[in-house]
Amino acid sequence: MTVAAVAGLELRRLAVRPLAWALAALTIAWLAWTFVLGLGQFLGAQVKLAAVADAPGFTDLVAIPLLAELAKLAFLVVPLMTMGLLAGERRTGTLALLASTGLAPWRIVVGKYLAVLAWLVLWLLATLAMPLLVGAGSTADWGKLASATLGTALMLATLAAIGIACSAATSFPAIAAAMALIITLALWTIDRGAQAAGVNGGFLEWLTLATHLQNLLRGLVVTSDLVWFALAITLSLILATRRLGSDRERQ
């Protein structure tokens, strides 16, 4: 009940602030341009592709690259969306006011997380509408597209959870955004050093976000990947909750 009230309040605030609308408009325009370019190249290559056995189709050449482009944008968009959720409220004093309503910190964190998640799902759906509308009239690989969509959604959910944890850690939204950006980029490429040293596999590869997303973008739904996303989200939300709870001790 109160989680829903926090989520409703946050969604209302997102809806009336220009940041969410500006980010949505700019990124969807960029993604639409990317989609049109990809579709044009796909249509132009039809003759060549027809001559190749098991040639990649619309899903591989247009739809999944579009989702990969959205995933790239998410590194910037999600920290911008989450930076003020707790840091901004702490700065203006409204976080203490929220705490005074007797809400447990986890309810505040989960409520705000659900609100930003709702926005991100709408963002993903608006992007997905492009390949879905075109794919409906063609022979898209729906299974692969579903897997890629799941992967992108899980990545967005993970970035949002990390963003909230960073927002909980500071009173400065800009610092929260920078922290979230650095942490997610580090998580994306953490095994690069090991790869350069010729070491493949192992813990660092498992820890890397890219490993788990790329499997799903290839149409491979593996339980260990889903577990990784679930762990990353849970750990981030627990950290955010603990930090918020400690506000009552630390102020």
Partner 1 sequence: MIESGLLNVQSVSRRRAGRSAVADLSFSLNRGEVLGLLGVNGAGKSTTLAMLAGALRPESGRIDLGGRDFVSQPDIARRLVGWLPENAPLWPELSVEEHLVAFARLRGMTRAQARQAADGVLARLQLGDLRRRLAGVLSQGQRQRLGLACALVHAPALLILDEPANALDPVQVGELRKVIRERAAAGAAVILSTHVLAEVVAVCDRVVILHEGRLRYDAPLSREGDGASLEHHFFSIATGAAA
Question: Any idea what the Cα angle at residue 134 is, between residues 131 and 136, rounded to 5°?
Answer: 100
Q: Considering the rule CB under 8 A, would residue 21 count as an interface residue with partner 1?
A: no
Q: Give the Å distances, CA to CA, from 119 to 22, 113, 115, 122.
A: 13, 10, 7, 5
Report, in Å, the least distance between residue 246 CB and partner 1.
9
Site string for partner 1, 70-109 (x = CB under 8 A): ----------------------xxx-xxxxxxxxx-----
Report, in Å, the least distance between residue 6 CB and partner 1.
7
Q: 1 vs 53, which CB is nearer to partner 1? A: 1
Q: What is the largest CA-CA distance in the chain?
A: 69
Q: Considering the rule CB under 8 A, would residue 12 count as an interface residue with partner 1?
A: yes
Q: Considering the rule CB under 8 A, would residue 22 count as an interface residue with partner 1?
A: no
Q: 66 vs 98, which CB is nearer to partner 1? A: 98
What's the chain's Rg over C-alpha atoms? Answer: 20
Report, in Å, the least distance between residue 119 CB and partner 1.
15
Q: How many Cα atoms occupy the beta-carbon half-sphere of 155 within 13 Å?
A: 31
Binding residues for partner 1, rule CB under 8 A, total: 25
Q: Which stretch binds partner 1 (CB under 8 A): 7-15, 70-78, 219-227, 228-236?
A: 7-15
Q: Considering the rule CB under 8 A, would residue 198 count as an interface residue with partner 1?
A: no
Among residue numbers 161 through 190, which ones bind partner 1 (CB under 8 A)?
none
- Which of 2, 114, 172, 242: binder of partner 1 (CB under 8 A)? 2
Q: 2 vs 214, which CB is nearer to partner 1? A: 2
Q: How far apart are CA 114 and CA 174, in angstroms?
A: 22
CA atoms 10, 15, 19, 23: torsion sign: positive
Q: Considering the rule CB under 8 A, would residue 214 count as an interface residue with partner 1?
A: no
CB count within 10 Å of CB 140 equals 19
According to DSSP H, which parts of 51-191 are helical? 58, 64-92, 94-99, 105-135, 142-168, 173-189
Q: Considering the rule CB under 8 A, would residue 231 count as an interface residue with partner 1?
A: no
Q: 98 vs 124, which CB is nearer to partner 1? A: 98
Cα-to-chain-centroid distance, residue 18: 20
Kindly state the tokens that stand for 13: 């605030």
- The answer to whether the beta carbons of residues 145 and 59 sit under 8 Å apart is yes
Report, in Å, the least distance between residue 232 CB and partner 1.
29
Please give the residue ranges that form the binding site for partner 1 (CB under 8 A). Answer: 1-2, 5-6, 8-9, 12-13, 16-17, 92-94, 96-104, 248-249, 251
